[in-house]
Structure 1
Amino acid sequence: MKTYLVPTRDQFKQLMGMGDRGPIFMLNLLRFKPGDGAETYRRYGEAGAPVFRRIGVEIVFQGPMVMPVIGEETWDEVLIARDPSISAFIEMNRDPDYQQAATIREAALMDSRLYMILADPA
């Protein structure tokens, strides 16, 4: 089974070509590495918090997944973040402080998915 931890170059280019729309919600599906993966992910949140605040990102929801109701794929945790705009999300990913924090995220996760949802798709 293929795993995913970061966007591909093509996905990032596609995102940059969407214009500056927002706000956006980012649905994170997280599968932690066995052992201290969940705790390591918490450290990522702490390390990234100053950047999140500066950019205007807020965590709308974070909690454990109980079970799939449709389908079979399971995750340890679900997180929904609200970003002010697509450009804010891109700015965050280019920020050197965030890039350093993101290495902690990668160390914490065995697999993940990240879905962008437009608050106003018009």
Structure 2
Amino acid sequence: MDCYLDPSAAGFAAFKALPRDEPIHMLNLLRFRDRAEYPADHPNAGKGWSGQEAYTEYGHTSGPIFQRVGGRIAWRGAFQVMLIGPEDRQWDDGFVAEYPNSAAFLEMVTDPEYRKAVVNRTAAVLDSRLIRFNPGKGSGNRF
């Protein structure tokens, strides 16, 4: 099973090439590790946290930065079953983060305090997907 934790160089370049002045939604799908995996010298190493606990810490430490740049959680749900897609893919958490624009997202991920906080995400997450959507460019209520 391939696991994904960080953006690829090509994916990040494509993200940055899109318009930066319109609202964006970021679909987050997360699968947590059974046990968080911190670097040995990190203050949270050795606490015996689960991946979920380490992700909760990520929320506590990155949340103020997320809010400062204008981010909010637009939707959150609990995974139940995969109807279309690989049956071995199960997600522990799924949510849509809304940003006023992609510049706000870029401001967040380059913030020095965020870079410290993201260690908790890396320790917590076994596999993830992060998909950018433009909420204003959908097809309305039609299929």
The residue matched to 1:14 in structure 2 has which SS? helix
The answer as to 2:132 corresponding to 1:120 is: no
Match of 1:54 in 2: 68
* CA deviation profile, 1:5-53 (whole Å, cap 9, x unmatched): 1111221111111121421111100000014001110110010011011
The residue matched to 2:34 in structure 1 has which SS? coil
More strand by share: 1
The residue matched to 2:2 in structure 1 has which SS? coil
Match of 2:15 in 1: 15
Aligned length: 122
| Per-residue deviation, 1:61 | 2.2
- Equivalent positions of 1:11-90 (< 5 A) are 11-35=11-35, 36-71=50-85, 72=87, 73-90=89-106
Aligned mates of 1:38, 1:63 — CA distance in 2: 15
The residue matched to 2:107 in structure 1 has which SS? helix
- Select the structure of larger CA radius of gyration: 2
Letter in 1 for 2:105: F
More helix by share: 1
Aligned-residue RMSD, C-alpha: 1.4
Letter in 1 for 2:20: D
Aligned mates of 1:16, 1:32 — CA distance in 2: 27
What TM-score do you get using the length of structure 2 for normalisation?
0.80
| Per-residue deviation, 1:74 | 1.5
Aligned mates of 1:10, 1:69 — CA distance in 2: 29
What TM-score do you get using the length of structure 1 for normalisation?
0.92
Match of 1:102 in 2: 118
Letter in 1 for 2:2: K
Contact 1:37–1:107 (8 Å) recurs in 2: yes
